[in-house]
Copies of this chain bind each other. A is one copy, B any other.
Amino acid sequence: MNKHKPTMKVGFIGVGHMGTGMAERLLAAGHDVIVYNRTSSKAQSLIDRGAQLAPQVADACREDAVITMLANDEAVEAIVFGEDGVLSSLGKSTIHISMSTISVALSDRLTSAHANASQRFIAAPVFGRPDVASAGKLYIVAGGAPDVLKTCMPLFEAMGQKTVHIGDAPRAANLVKLSGNFLLASVIEALGEAMALIRKAGIDPHRYYDLLTSTLFTGPVFTNYGGLVARQEYKPALFAAPLGEKDIRLTLTAAETLRVPMPLASLVHDRLQTLIARGGEELDWSAIGQLAAEDAGLRDQAA
């Protein structure tokens, strides 16, 4: 426990792969964590580390802040707007921090509902996979009032290596998060096509990967995803194809509302659909990097 930094009391709703790692970091930083999960057994490892169990949603909503980290819009809607949910339970001084990757439309709805109830709300979705969450190295994109963000910083500092304030509207953070996943999917598609091309020409993909990442294509995006595509290593899924498909769909939905044609987003969405329809539901979303090879008649099996 770090005695020099201020500690907070925080509810945490949703302890899947991502949430568990994030809550661990909060505990490790000395914050008090009250965990709620629909399936409470999933909270056990956190309780073993010192977290308290919240029997009801409301029990997690009465401290300095409550973090929601759930799989999709439907889960957030149920937890927030459902009977005895976050909206009706939130303490006057408690901040709702929505860290889930959700639609811009739902972010707007949350913003309005909390404002109408004179409650404080901030959106703070994250970049990073479960291993990054466990290491406290997430990138956090925050949208909301600056003073609310400031109050939450001790929590963000425990979970992330960097927090960026993109604007006063929570929706901005959610849109930026979606756009980031679109950028990642685009790079995976590009790498998939490039590797199909060079593989069919008889060039070793590992040598190609080394060449790319030791010259112009440095940085974690090319390094991580290039490696997965070069090694055709698509399981276990760190971020499963249906989750990726959902995020690109939410990007396209936001783009449609804003009237922004995004042909590359359409292309990667079609790829994710194809991946799932052809049987890749349990693969990592980076397995779209295999589709160009398959369409080129390269018959290797994915790992």
Residues of A within 8 A of B (CB): 104, 127-128, 139, 141, 162, 164, 166-167, 169, 171-172, 175-176, 179-180, 182-184, 186-187, 189-191, 193-194, 196-198, 200-204, 207-208, 210-212, 214-222, 249, 251, 254-256, 258-267, 269-271, 273-274, 276-279, 292, 294-297
How far is B139's CA from A182's CA once the two chains are assembled, in angstroms? 29
- Count of this chain's copies in the oligomeric assembly: 4
In the complex, are the beta carbons of B269 and A266 less than 8 A apart?
yes
The residue from B202, B216, B265, B278 contacting A193, defined by CB atoms under 8 A apart = B265
Chain B residues in 8 Å Cβ range of A182: 190, 193-194
In the complex, are the beta carbons of B216 and A221 less than 8 A apart?
yes
In the complex, are the beta carbons of B172 and A183 less than 8 A apart?
no
The residue from B164, B190, B260, B266 contacting A186, defined by CB atoms under 8 A apart = B190
- Across the interface, name the chain B residue whose C-beta is closest to A223: B219
> Would A259 and B200 be within 8 Å (CB), given that A216-B220, A270-B266, A296-B277 are in contact?
yes
- Across the interface, name the chain B residue whose C-beta is closest to A222: B219
Chain B residues in 8 Å Cβ range of A249: 256
Chain B residues in 8 Å Cβ range of A251: 197
Output the least CB separation between A23 and chain B (Å).
22
19 additional A-B residue pairs with CB within 8 Å, beyond A193-B264, A197-B251: A127-B215, A139-B216, A167-B202, A167-B203, A180-B217, A183-B190, A183-B212, A201-B254, A216-B221, A217-B219, A256-B273, A261-B270, A261-B277, A261-B292, A266-B267, A273-B295, A274-B296, A277-B295, A277-B297
Selected A-B contacts with CB under 8 Å, 24 pairs? A141-B211, A164-B210, A164-B214, A166-B208, A172-B203, A176-B203, A179-B194, A186-B187, A197-B251, A197-B254, A197-B255, A200-B258, A200-B260, A217-B219, A218-B218, A219-B220, A221-B222, A260-B277, A261-B273, A261-B296, A262-B270, A263-B267, A273-B295, A277-B296
In the complex, are the beta carbons of A292 and B198 less than 8 A apart?
no
